[in-house]
Structures are given as structure tokens and as C-alpha cells.
Structure 1
């Protein structure tokens, strides 16, 4: 019985050493490479866990087709999931706009032209 306990303890120590060293069993990966022991297995999807879209580094706080997106700026999901902006338009505040002519979003989102100028070719007061 004592030898069985010793064998079990030895096996546990070897498993711990492999885990800590970052070497995948049988792969022969050298230390310093990324050990994907948990990263390949733990995948949180936003359709089941919507809070993953609120973590730091997420693409946005909304979930469309199991991807985190920002409905205010995403041209493939502008204002709602699946609403794509047509060619030449961008998504600003959840609406598809033409940045070459839009007075509130001239050239880019939020670039508002003043009352004396107009948006031409994406610039306020071009001429």
C-alpha cells in the first residue's frame, strides 16, 4: 500500500512539473512557447454568455451571430444585427451615412460642418 501511495505521489508531481513548465505532454514544445492547455478548451460565446462582450478589449458590447460588435460603428451590423451599409457609406451612431456629403459626419463620424460651410468630398468648405 505504501508503494502505491508513493507511485501516485510521483505521478502527481510529474503532472505538476509538466503543467508548470509549459510543455505539452508528448509535443516536445520548448519552454517559452505559449501553452494552450486551457485557451483551446475555454471558449465563451456571446450568445450564451452576453457579458463577455462587456470585458476590456472586446470589439463591442453587442452580440451578433455569436460575435461581439459595436452596433454604433460596425458597417456589417449598423444599428441592428445584419444591417450592412452599402458601398461608400460608413456607420455613425447606428445609421449608414455617406461621409462625402453628410453635414454631421463629414469625412468621418462626428465631424460636423459649421452653418456657413457644406460637406463636399468629405471636407467642410471644400471650395
Structure 2
């Protein structure tokens, strides 16, 4: 019998796999568990198509899920605005 690198004589494929916290949360989607979007480090508090987003700043979900901003606009406070012409958002959100 050939021994493993550790000298245990047991192949690694027979050792039990441990679930990591990342593996557990990757199986949890916000459509089933909406609170995961409010966890620290989440991209946003809102759930759109099984992904955590911030509808106040997300260009693909601006103001509500599925509302996309056009290519020349950004999402500021849930509204699509043109940063080149908007006086309240000159160049970026909240910049006058």
C-alpha cells in the first residue's frame, strides 16, 4: 500500500470535507434570506435577482430592481442623472 504525503496511508479523498463560512453563505441567496444583505461587508441592503445591491447607487438597479441607467448616466440617490449636466451631481454624486 502506497502511503500518502503525510504518511497516514489514507487518501485525501476519503477525509471529510469541512464547510467554510464562505461556502455556507455562497449557498444562501437573499431571495430566501434577505437579512444577509444587511450583514457587514455586503454590497448593499437590497436584494435584486438573488444579489445584494444598493438601489441608491447601483446603475443596473437604480431606485428599484431592474431599472437601468443609460450609459451616460449614474445612479445618485436612486435616480439616474447625467453627471456632466446635473448641477447637484457635477461629475459625481453629491458634488456641486
Q: TM-score range by the shorter chain?
A: 0.7 to 0.9
Structure 2 unaligned spans of 5+: 1-10
Structure 1 unaligned spans of 5+: 1-23, 28-35, 113-127
Considering Cα pairs closer than 8 Å and 6+ residues apart, tell me whether 1 or 2 has the greater RCO.
2
Q: Which has the larger radius of gyration?
A: 1
- Given candidates 19, 24, 29, the residue that maps to 1:38 is 19
> Cα deviation per residue 1:37-82 (whole Å; 9 max; x = unaligned)?
3147522110000000000110000000000000000000000000
**Richer in helix (by share):** 1
Aligned counterparts of 1:46 and 1:107: Cα–Cα separation in 2: 33
The within-5 A match list for 1:105-120 is 105-112=89-96
Is 1:26 the counterpart of 2:10? The answer is: no
* TM-score, reference length from structure 2: 0.77
Aligned counterparts of 1:60 and 1:41: Cα–Cα separation in 2: 20
- Given candidates 88, 91, 95, the residue that maps to 1:104 is 88
Secondary structure of residue in 2 paired with 1:26 = helix
* TM-score, reference length from structure 1: 0.59
Compute the displacement of 1:25 (Å).
3.2
Runs (4+) of structure 1 exceeding 6 A deviation are none
The within-5 A match list for 1:1-127 is 25-26=12-13, 37-39=18-20, 42=24, 43-112=27-96
